[in-house]
Amino acid sequence: MGIRTLVAMLVTALVVIGALATQESYKVFMPGLLQGAVLTIEIAILGSLLAIVMGVLAALARMYGPAPLRWLATVYVEIFRGTSALVQLFWLFFVLPQFGVTLDAFLVAVLALGLNVGAYGSEVVRGAIQSVARGQWEASTALNMSRPQMLRRIILPQAFVAMIPPWGNLFIELLKSTALVSLITLSDLAFKAQQMNQNTFKTIPIFTLVLLMYLAMSLVVTIGMRLLERRASLGLARGKAA
Amino acid sequence: MIWDWAFAFEILPVLARAAIVSIEATLIGFALAASLGLVLAVVRIAVPWTGWTISVLVELIRSTPLLIQIFFLYFVFPKFGVVLDAFTAGVLAIGIHYAAYCSEVYRAGFDNIHRGQWEASVALNLSAWTTFRDIIIPQAIPPIVPALGNYLVALFKETPLLSAIAVLELMQTAKIIGSETFRYTEPMTLVGLFFLAMSLVSAALIRSLEGLLNRRTMR
């Protein structure tokens, strides 16, 4: 979809939310839902940051690390890609305390989602680094650059552009996964919706508002990533790679 | 004692029975996703004016959390007098959610068909139905099977969400065992291992399928 359509959808979603919020039957739910949305956004942002860190570290460890580190990174990626996000969330929340590590629910949420998406992200980073043309590596070697120098100055800036669209998709996945944290007692947007639904049985207004709010948040991420992509590919001959 | 083998073996049969429900949900959900996705992709080509509507619909479904969609179907249907049991509502939600993803995969498959194939079909006076059934689909589907396979695995990993509406699948069973015995370590870990094993096996299957299909199309 073009960026204009996406902006139009975002504006429509916001206008509809605004219009519904003026209605008496919807108005009562707004403060609670907005409160939940703030927590959702917090978890999404912190989770994304952790995902980026883990993705880059795991990819670099798998590609250039010494054998034990490479092995560790592979196990990490396989475990977190191979099991469900919800299983990971519950495992950290229910099982870890039995090993004597009790984490606060918010921390569990950020850790589980960040580690989960980071595992997928490491494959994105790896793919993007490998998509940089061979000649770039050879030229860096010819210029007698060390490996860290090569990565930092030549390879990563180019790989970065190729990484943006798939990371955009992963951020959306992460944002949507934040709904799972409602199942470990955090009062995010999904939790508030569930709670209000149980109290009032006004299912349609509540869930319509919640779906629109998630839609608006996802669209903000999509549009932001498109703009970032446009910005980052300025001055690069190869626009959209991989 | 952190890990109790006796307890783990005791709950294994219960979890195995629950795993069958998870697998059932996966298969029914995916059958729904694959067929509904195909319908969406075909309608989009056959009836051009629906293109925009379908894009928006797909974007809507893909941009909102599956958990909310499951709740929505589960709680909203009774308002219209249709009471669905939790399993049906959940599988329906999963199927529709993944249909949105699958329709994009099919679309990519259709986009890869050479224009000449369509033109030749018109020249041969084939009806739209025959063109799709005999010319386009046989060429478009094999290359996208691995992509569909990846969504099958992704869908399988989403089935624990059904525990949120109390479907007695793997996760819900593990949670119940945990709350009854206050031992979460064994059930949760076993569930995790089960998913890990299934994912690794299916990833290997998809890889070999990919190789097989490549060989066939390369000829």
From B56, which residue of chain A is nearest by alpha-carbon distance? A9
Q: How far is B58 from chain A (nearest CA, A)?
A: 11
- Between CA B118 and CA B60 the distance in angstroms is 31
CB atoms within 10 A of CB B31: 12
What does pLDDT average to over chain A?
Answer: 92
Question: Which two structure tokens, joined as six digits, stand for A45?
Answer: 């942002």
pLDDT at A240 over 70: no
Question: Which two structure tokens, joined as six digits, stand for A187?
Answer: 């009062």
Note whether A180 contacts B67, CB cutoff 8 Å.
yes
Name the B residues in 126-155 with CB < 8 Å from any A CB. Answer: none
Write out residues in chain B with pLDDT < 70, as ranges. Answer: 1, 216-219
Query: HEC profile for A68-83?
Result: HHHHHHHHHHHHHHHC
- Between CA A116 and CA A73 the distance in angstroms is 13
**Per-residue pLDDT tens digits for A63-110:** 988 999 999 999 999 999 999 999 999 999 999 988 888 899 999 999
Give the domains, in start order, of chain A with CATH numbers: 3-232 (1.10.3720.10)
Q: How far is A72 from chain B (nearest CA, A)?
A: 16
Question: Which two structure tokens, joined as six digits, stand for B165?
Answer: 């509406």
B chain contacts of residue A83, beta-carbon cutoff 8 Å: 157, 192, 195-196, 199
B chain contacts of residue A221, beta-carbon cutoff 8 Å: none
Whether residue B74 lies within 8 A of chain A, CB to CB, comes out as no
Question: Which sequence spans correspond to the domains of chain B?
Answer: 5-218
Residue of A79, A190, A203 with shortest CB distance to B65? A190
Residue of B72, B160, B185 with shortest CB distance to A95? B185
B195-198 long-range CB contacts below 8 Å, 24 or more apart?
Answer: B195/A82, B195/A83, B195/A84, B195/A87, B195/B156, B195/B157, B196/A78, B196/A79, B196/A82, B196/A83, B198/B156
Question: Which ipTM value was assigned to this complex?
Answer: 0.88
A chain contacts of residue B191, beta-carbon cutoff 8 Å: 87
Whether residue A215 lies within 8 A of chain B, CB to CB, comes out as yes
Note whether A95 contacts B188, CB cutoff 8 Å.
yes
Whether residue A95 lies within 8 A of chain B, CB to CB, comes out as yes
Give Cβ neighbours of residue A61 (< 8 Å, ≥ 6 apart): A69, A70, A72, A73
Residue of B56, B68, B183 with shortest CB distance to A214? B68
pLDDT at A241 over 70: no
Give Cβ neighbours of residue A38 (< 8 Å, ≥ 6 apart): none
Predicted confidence band of residue A239 (pLDDT cuts 50, 70, 90)? very low
- Residue A242's pLDDT is 44
Whether residue A5 lies within 8 A of chain B, CB to CB, comes out as yes
Note whether A210 contacts B68, CB cutoff 8 Å.
yes
Taking alpha carbons only, the member of A180, A121, A130, A199 closest to residue A159 is A130
- Residue B217's pLDDT is 60
Give Cβ neighbours of residue B203 (< 8 Å, ≥ 6 apart): B153
**Per-residue pLDDT tens digits for A121-179:** 999 999 999 989 899 999 999 999 998 899 889 998 889 988 999 999 999 999 999 99
Q: Which CATH architecture has domain B5-218?
A: Orthogonal Bundle (1.10)
Q: How far is A66 from chain B (nearest CA, A)?
A: 24
- Type of residue found at A195: Q
Note whether A222 contacts B171, CB cutoff 8 Å.
no
Predicted confidence band of residue A238 (pLDDT cuts 50, 70, 90)? low
Exposed, middle or buried by CB within 10 Å (0-12, 13-18, 19+), for B192? buried
Give Cβ neighbours of residue B59 (< 8 Å, ≥ 6 apart): A1, A9
Residue of A83, A176, A204 with shortest CB distance to B195? A83
In this prediction, residues A196-216 reach a mean pLDDT of 92
Note whether B55 contacts A5, CB cutoff 8 Å.
yes
- Residue A216's pLDDT is 96
- Between CA A235 and CA A31 the distance in angstroms is 45
pLDDT at A235 over 90: no
Query: HEC profile for chain B?
Result: CCCCHHHHHHHHHHHHHHHHHHHHHHHHHHHHHHHHHHHHHHHHHHCHHHHHHHHHHHHHHHHCCHHHHHHHHHHHHHHHCCCCCHHHHHHHHHHHHHHHHHHHHHHHHHHCCCHHHHHHHHHCCCCHHHHHHHHHHHHHHHHHHHHHHHHHHHHHHHHHHHHHHCCCCHHHHHHHHHHHHCCCHHHHHHHHHHHHHHHHHHHHHHHHHHHHHHHHHHC
- Residue A232's pLDDT is 85
Question: Which two structure tokens, joined as six digits, stand for B18?
Answer: 């629950």
Whether residue A83 lies within 8 A of chain B, CB to CB, comes out as yes
